[in-house]
Amino acid sequence: MNFTKNILCIGAGYVGGPTMAIIALKCPEYKVTVVDINEDRITSWNSDNLPIYEPGLLQAVQAARGTNLFFSTAISEGIRAADIIFVSVNTPTKTFGLGAGMASDLQYWEKTAHQIVMHSDQSKIIVEKSTLPVRTAEAMERILSENKKDIHFEVISNPEFLAEGSAVNDLLEPDRVLIGSQQTESGRQAAQAIVDIYAHWVPLEKIITTNLWSAELSKLVANAFLAQRISSINAISALCEKTDADVAEISFAVGSDRRIGSRFISASIGFGGSCFKKDILNLVYICRSYGLNEVADYWEWVIKMNEYQQERFVKKMIKEMFNTIVGKKIALLGFAFKANTGDTRESPGIYVAKKLLEEKADLVICDLQAQDNARKDLAGFDGRVCFEPDPYRAIEGAHAIAVITEWDLFTKLDFKKIFTMMEKPAFIFDGRNILDHQRLFQIGFNVFPLGKPSLTHF
């Protein structure tokens, strides 16, 4: 088949894979190729055992793969053939040198810019899909224009707002698509080419075009605002536990105000995921580099509050279990940073597990999708932690259960049966407030929800 455009995506990760699958599905006249340096990942994308778990993704991939969607490690060939290149490589927090622990590590991103220059022999549109510090496009333009081939690269910012666990739906029905470009003739033309892709399925009024810097910064700000809401309600959950107020009732009452809205104000054990913390740290770093220390301090507290929430959860577990958990078996229900994903990056489960292990508890981790990642996260604790996908087997003989991830499965368990299988007194610490606390109390459990009165038999 003759395709009208060649689209390439560099980076076959959580964003590159799903985003390109949906573009391929919705734009049959475009050829979409996703490349990566990681051969195993590409092999998985070419199998039915995809490298990431995402509801609906396998069906989307299967519908387009081999027709107009291709996964490959042939990066230079891909670059040569492409009209439009999306760059969706990882941009983690820097772990070394200047800005360590705060700034974005742009080494993967910069490497792709050089690869693009090296292997291109015609003008192309380069789309920043990765989340990047504001004004990164300037650096990208500089690298790309340092070519002696007399070809032009137009840089576009098209940040991604999908959330893991709902990626396919978020891509099919986004709240908005954001496309930033230079406000020049060639910049506007390039932006239009990207608008044309999304216009295949996204209503035009949901496609927002801005200048480059607004698009780059909007992405960091969107994540900062979302995380800030979670830290705000989590801060209130601590106050609720001192005053017998109920944080769920507060979320409902406060969120019923349409100016506030009901989403992203569910108290939890803390937010995780690969991006909230990294993007806020990056925002803080950028603010400090411009001398905006008050602004930096303000956003930094969103992260500090998140750390406080996780610490608080573990301290409460230890205190309520009579200040010692040495040798006690504790079942962690869930390990992923949220439900419907196997991703454990920055999961509060990692912090909780490590702290409990430091206190010499024996852990069983029960998370069907996140088992492999959990194993890697807890490497080195062999013998003290085991992994059991069956919740009943995981809980058998345990002193306590801690809910880490809000998997629907955990709400459907037979807790009467579970109670009989546990050591007494039996404790439940619900880090997601997903269980029926009154019922658990009636069964005989000592129940510790988040931001709600504890229900104890002693």
Task: Single out the residue of 55, 100, 101, 111 in contact with ligand NAD (rule: CB under 6 A).
Answer: 111
Q: Determine the residue type at 163.
A: A
Q: Is 54 in the site for ligand NAD (CB under 6 A)?
A: no
Count the site residues for ligand NAD by CB under 6 A: 27
Residue closer to ligand NAD, measured from CB, 72 or 454: 72
Q: How many CB atoms lie within 10 A of CB 275?
A: 25
Rounded least distance, CB 90 to ligand UGA, Å: 11
Residue 272 binding: pick among ligand NAD, ligand UGA, none (C-beta 5-8 Å cut-off by kind)? ligand UGA
Which positions touch ligand UGA (CB under 6 A)?
131, 160-164, 223, 226, 230, 264-266, 268, 271-276, 337-338
Rounded least distance, CB 131 to ligand NAD, Å: 4
Q: Which of residues 239-278 bind ligand NAD (CB under 6 A)?
A: 274-275
Contact yes or no for 448/427 (Cβ under 8 A): yes
Rounded least distance, CB 381 to ligand NAD, Å: 24
Q: Determine the residue type at 238.
A: A
Q: How far separated are the first and last CA of the chain, in Å rounded?
A: 73
Could you tell me the two tokens for 396? Answer: 């058998």
Report the 3 state secondary structure along 25-84.
HHCCCEEEEEECCCHHHHHHHCCCCCCCCCCCHHHHHHHHECCCEEEECCHHHHHHHCCE
Rounded least distance, CB 8 to ligand NAD, Å: 10
Q: Is 347 in the site for ligand NAD (CB under 6 A)?
A: no
Compute and round to an integer the Cα radius of gyration of the chain.
Answer: 24
Q: Which of these is catalytic: 27, 240, 275, 366?
A: 275
Rounded least distance, CB 163 to ligand UGA, Å: 3
Residue closer to ligand UGA, measured from CB, 26 or 277: 277
Residue 275 appears among annotated catalytic residues: yes
Q: Is 82 in the site for ligand NAD (CB under 6 A)?
A: no
Could you tell me the two tokens for 306? Answer: 């998140």
Task: Single out the residue of 34, 60, 61, 91 in contact with ligand NAD (rule: CB under 6 A).
Answer: 91
Task: Single out the residue of 3, 5, 37, 295 in contact with ligand NAD (rule: CB under 6 A).
Answer: 37
Residue closer to ligand UGA, measured from CB, 155 or 162: 162
Could you tell me the two tokens for 238? Answer: 């601590």
* CA–CA dist 321, 427 (Å, integer): 8
Q: Which residue is nearest to ligand NAD (CB)?
A: 13
Rounded least distance, CB 302 to ligand UGA, Å: 12
Largest distance between two CA atoms of the chain? 79
Residue closer to ligand UGA, measured from CB, 275 or 286: 275
Q: Which of residues 406-425 bind ligand NAD (CB under 6 A)?
A: none
Residues in Cβ contact with 255 at an 8 Å cutoff, skipping those fewer than 6 apart: 261, 262, 263, 265
Q: Which of the stretches 107-115, 244-252, 353-361, 416-424 binds ligand NAD when contact is defined by CB under 6 A? A: 107-115
Report the run of H or E that residue 118 belongs to, with start and end.
helix 107-119
* CA–CA dist 367, 334 (Å, integer): 5
User: What's the residue count for the chain?
Assistant: 458
Strands (DSSP E) found in 168-268 = 177-181, 207-211
Residue closer to ligand NAD, measured from CB, 274 or 306: 274
Q: Which residues are catalytic?
A: 275
